[in-house]
Chains A and B, each alone.
Chain A
Amino acid sequence: MERRDFLKISAVAGATAALEGCGNPDHQLIRFVPEEDMLPGVATWKPSICTLCPAGCGLLVRVMQGEAEVVRNGQLGLLKMGLAKKLEGNPAHPVNQGKLCPRGQAGLQVTYHPDRVKTPLARNGPRGSGQFREVSWDDAIKQLASQLSDLQGAKPDGTLALVTSPLRGQRKAIVNAFAASFKNAALVEFAFFDDGVIRAANAASFGHAMPPTVDLGQSNYVISFGADFLGTWNSPVAQSLAFGHMRKGRPGQRGKFVHFEPRISQTAASADEWIPVQPGAEGALALAIAHVIIAEKLRPAAAAGHAGSLIESWSQGLPDYAPEKVSAQVGVKPEKIARIAREAAAHDPAVAVIAGAATAHTNGLFSALAVNALNALLGSVGKPGGIVFAPGSPAAKDAGASLQTLISRISSGSSSVKSLLLYNANPLFAAPAAWGVRAALDKVPFIASFGSFIDDTSAQADLILPDHSPLESWLDDVPISGSAKTVVSVAPPAMNPLHDTRAMADVLLDAAHQVGGDLAKALPWKTYDEAIQAEFTALYKSQASRSAKDADEFWTNAKDQGGWWSAEESKAASIGVSGSGAAPKNAAPQFDGGTDQYPFHFLPFASQLLYDGSLAHLPWLQETPDPLSTAMWGSWVEINPATAAKLMIKQGDLVQVTSPHGSLEAPALITPGIAPDVIAMPVGQGHENFTRYATGRGANPISILSPALVEGTGSLAWASTRVKVQAVGRGKLILFGGSLSEASPELKHR
């Protein structure tokens, strides 16, 4: 090295040495004093409950110390706290036995979602403008209490409406008691994919207003009428486990599974035979099968008991449902119907399930009653390998008002609904535009939402009282299907709340106590967990044989394992012989839209990932490919290849789907897995407002649906719409399994 260079470097070195001592702050944020004492790097597993679909699976949450960026007292900083890192199924839980579906796995993203509402918000601009200002919990609850006070007392100013998702356990008890304290209050439990028709049918046929628990594991012949029991219906994880046992858990026995549906759903893809059936003809098909069984003396007609007596001409052997007579209407050859009937009768135990679009036609109740009668005929009701009803579930009277009745009441001006409380329901998104939800909401002076997110409906709210995410909250649940044991789940919070949120039930209790009077008397608990503990004490006292030495030990054990369940399968709940409810008059489905102008049946379906749209804000679900088409991050319209050729629609083309009630646009997906006269579209996308991941993405098939109801029930007949389809340009279809160039030709030339 040259002397000159050496000196130069030394000079520079001397200068820079002085700057070295400035330190290196790891992070510019301040650190809050930790509220918990945790060993870093050591994980614990805590029980919890999945609340993302009606199944109610048990969870185990892996919790480990980490640093979260949170706001405390208006200041942003870091807080060392126990953080939920991964969700798994709880192996001890009788419903899911350690397994978990993709929706359950993605539940973790609810807690850490960047668009969570972190503190109470009050509207600060016109409704729907999205302008809110932060308010304190004290102010928010005061505002809620004052609105509620006006509706209490001898001469109330008006009444209260509550729209929630179907609830169970103590949350249901608290909400019900709350609503009951307001004169003429409307309590609506609303979900797009609700099982109202199945409940009504099971109440009439078997005296149990609840969905069935299907003992697939011991079955030898399964017939599904549109029931997506492996993906989205009822208790999918429990049913998948049982199906696995049916296929592989019994050496030498594999059982047979036949699936009738116009579209090849995820469950249909696992069937031995997937047979397309004319939309709305599932009931007629079930009765044709029953006809063959009775006519060939494979079972006596009387075996169907009360369920059979609900079907006209059952005792005469269903002469109008001979396979040759209904073959054209049903779309299945008579020989096939007869063969399946004989196979089912010969492979005991055989069981039939119906759900999905089959129960969402105007004749859905008729079809469900027909399948119930078929089950009773096959001898599968209340027997191993057939259907049972979960024990220990609340009695039937939980139907409540329907959303459609409430909306028309508000729209007609005849109601006096002054306040509307929303919890876990998004009617602006999940109800057809033809029901007029938006106009009805405009007529309600005060709307409050307990949601954790601003969605299509809560964007119209005047007050938002953000709930904890499920992992930050006490939870309790009574699963109504999936296990023949008596199950009552409970879980303490798996982690402390990240943000300034409060459990919905606690806020209701707080508001009730502020209002005082009858309302406070109706809700004696101070907190939600106090209510759960009281319920567990009552449960302990009611038990004949007890596992714990006192109620406290019972409670502690339940909290540790995620709930209490009976050791053995409970005795099958008795099947009623005199269920109530008249059979509907119309056996044939009615469709909205003439066949000339609207040539296709429109079939919205539940995607296993987005379900009913309530999970579209979770990016893990948006990016998981649809199991059959591999489509993701958007909407698509499934079209049969022959139909597409006739209409000159290519894969990825933007198509306009028009019903008598509106139109939407989405890219076409050509698939042979759908009948030529049916167009299908997944539900879940098309939110106007639902966090950065779902807002403005895709199109919402619910918006163009007919407002017709399933005859004999208050449920929407969401499969009764007819549509026309035409190509209108180039769309954006994102397929995981296809090369992008197939979906977007403009990318071919890169």
Chain B
Amino acid sequence: MAVGVVVLGLAVLQKVLPAQGTAPASQAPASDVFTPEHRTVSDSIREFFGMRPKPVQPIAYTHKVHLGNGMQCTDCHVGVDTGPDARIPSVNFCMTCHQVIATDKPEIQKLAAYRARGEDIPWQRVYGFEPSAHVKFNHAPHIRAGVDCSACHGDMKQQTVAERKVDHTMGFCISCHRQKNASVDCITCHF
């Protein structure tokens, strides 16, 4: 019963807090001096619970189609086995294929328009940790250890744009680390 109330409470909280729709207003700095404090109480609460609004991507990219055509994750997310960042490729990379493939589709035309303007696609962040968590995540050791992309990112073959299907709470990370006998020392991730 108590658990149910708590769960309900959390869900309610998510709905009750003022939406972060016009993000800049609440994120605009109060002064020129850098400060890590939050602008409003609801900002702090949101950060504490890791609540972020659903990202809206500028181009309706679909993982389903690309993976369905036989591509691998690492074809585009090139840096994942060598460094901390999996990396989203730049518009130049997409255009190497899409100069000729599916050029009649409106989304592809949007892509070409970005490139023609000299702009890179302003993808919005899907995964990540709040700055106050002080987590530095490094992809490379995980890939070297044989962890599959879907373990943390869900089955991408079912997703169009990337969505937060898996909740990266500390518990999620620790349980897998324990299972695989990886380090659970604080400084492994928080430094």
Contact = CB atoms under 8 A, between A and B. Distances in A.
Interface of A: 1, 9, 12-14, 16-17, 19-26, 28, 30-34, 39-42, 72-73, 77, 80
Contact of B53 (A23, A30, A32): A23
B66 interface: no
Given A31-B122, A33-B91, A21 B78 contact: no
A24 B20 contact: yes
Contacts of B119: 30-33, 77
Interface stretch (B21-29, B143-151, B163-171, B173-181): B21-29
Contacts, number: 95
B157 interface: no
A21 B12 contact: no
A31 B87 contact: no
Contacts of B5: 1
Given A12-B15, A23-B56, A41-B85, A80 B124 contact: no
B83 A42 contact: yes
B120 interface: yes
A17 to B, nearest CB: 6
Interface of B: 5, 12, 15-24, 52-56, 78-79, 82-85, 87, 90-92, 115, 118-122, 124-125, 138
A40 B120 contact: no
Given A24-B55, A34-B120, A41 B125 contact: no
Grouping DSSP codes into helix (H, G, I), strand (E, B) and loop, the A interface class, with mixed when no group exceeds half, is mixed
19 contacts: A13-B16, A16-B16, A20-B21, A21-B53, A22-B20, A22-B23, A23-B124, A25-B122, A31-B120, A31-B122, A32-B119, A32-B120, A39-B82, A39-B83, A40-B84, A42-B79, A42-B82, A42-B83, A72-B118
Given A23-B55, A32-B120, A34-B120, A16 B18 contact: yes
A34 B121 CA distance: 11
A691 B56 CA distance: 41
Contacts of A77: 119
A13 to B, nearest CB: 3
Given A9-B16, A24-B23, A41-B84, A33 B92 contact: yes
A135 B162 CA distance: 45
A12 to B, nearest CB: 6
A732 to B, nearest CB: 22
B39 to A, nearest CB: 14
Contacts of A20: 19, 21, 53-54
Given A32-B120, A33-B120, A39 B79 contact: yes
6 shortest A-B CB distances, which residue pairs?
A13-B15, A23-B56, A22-B21, A19-B19, A41-B84, A40-B85
A19 B19 CA distance: 6
A39 B83 CA distance: 7
A600 to B, nearest CB: 43
A561 B83 CA distance: 25
A21 B53 CA distance: 7
Nearest to B119: A30
B52 A24 contact: yes
A33 B96 CA distance: 14
A20 B20 CA distance: 7
A13 B122 contact: no
